[in-house]
Amino acid sequence: MYQPFIPQNKAQFKWLVYPWFWGISILPLWILNVISYAIYFILYRLFKYRVRVVRENLAHAFPHLSIKEQSIIENAYYRHLADLFVETIKGLNLDSKSVKQYVKLENNDLLESFYQSKQSALIVLSHCGNWEWSCIAASLYTPMPFYVVYKPLKNPGFNSFMYQLRSKTGSKPIAMNETLRMVSKNSDIPFFLAMVGDQNPGNVNQVYWNQFLNQETAFLNGPAKISLKNKIPIIYLKSRKIKRHHYVLTPELIVDFNNYQDLDSQKIMDKIVKSIEDEILAQPEIWLWSHRRWKHKRNK
């Protein structure tokens, strides 16, 4: 059986893949839209990439919708997914000014208030919109140190590529297993720490379970643990897509220790899950439906 060649180290990626990505990134947007449509056709119509997963997820999340209504979301999702591919590559050639043209921030007063008071905060977001652009854009709207938690990719070449993208506007990518150490090390220095809150746990040991999109779902409770241990407030960063390649971010303070004295891990996670679900229900086609989010089942 034919096995495609996949670069397995940074040197191979640099010389065999990166030049193609760079060439694509400098193309005008109208050409990238043509490429996006080709990706959509290949993934969805030709190879039916994870269509079964998407349909199962939509059916469980929206049992009240008809098959036709679920199909409309499905089709719109694959168009958005194709846009994500070209937007990620386009990020190679975007400067800070361009990023802010594509990603606007509402209510910048909230981030500014944390900066002025020299208080740290966790920023939790989901796989809605373009989460990569959301992180690099949010860091441009505040002078406070901005860390972004990421899960390192197994392929060193692609991992290096994504690290370059995530750090290009001044944000500081930090590996998931280094998060607690970073927070402890910077306890006297105010910072923002961005984390994706709807990651699928690698296993179901010590996870948080809640009803999410009409089904019992496992969540990593890292944000709650960090928030409680260090008394760090949590800002939820909501994303909505206003038109093709253009997003608006809205930060909302959802955990404030000044107003809630009886917070525990369960209550914090409840607030995070509710925020994620509300964001998805407002614009379901821009969430990552091809992710195998519900592969883990709770042991009764």
Two tokens, residue 202: 């690698």
Contact assessment for residue 290 and residue 53, using Cβ atoms and an 8 Å cutoff: yes
Select from 254, 246, 227, 249 the least CA-distant residue to 238: 249
- Residues present in the chain in total: 300
Give yes or no for residue 3 having a pLDDT over 80. no
Q: Which residues contact 73 (CB under 8 A, 6 or more apart)?
A: 58, 62, 65, 284, 285, 289
Section 264-277 average pLDDT: 95
Two tokens, residue 121: 């905060």
Section 54-69 average pLDDT: 97
Three-class SS state of 211 = strand
pLDDT tens-place string over residues 18-34: 889 999 999 999 999 99
pLDDT at position 261: 65
Percentage of residues of the chain with pLDDT beyond 90: 74
Give yes or no for residue 13 having a pLDDT over 90. no
In the chain, the amino acid numbered 296 is: H
Section 154-163 average pLDDT: 84
Give yes or no for residue 93 having a pLDDT over 70. yes
Give yes or no for residue 96 having a pLDDT over 90. yes
Cross-strand bridge partners of residue 209: 218
pLDDT at position 1: 39
Give yes or no for residue 235 having a pLDDT over 80. yes
Contact assessment for residue 218 and residue 107, using Cβ atoms and an 8 Å cutoff: no
CA distance 159 to 165: 10
Q: What is the DSSP letter of 272?
A: H
Give yes or no for residue 240 having a pLDDT over 90. yes
Section 258-273 average pLDDT: 86
pLDDT tens-place string over residues 100-136: 999 999 989 999 999 999 999 999 999 999 999 999 9
Two tokens, residue 294: 């519900």
**Average pLDDT, whole number, for the chain?**
91
Select from 236, 266, 276, 227 the least CA-distant residue to 119: 227
Q: What are phi and psi of 236, to 5 degrees?
A: -95, 130
CA distance 147 to 150: 10
Q: Are strands 146-150 and 246-255 parallel, antiparallel or unpaired?
A: unpaired
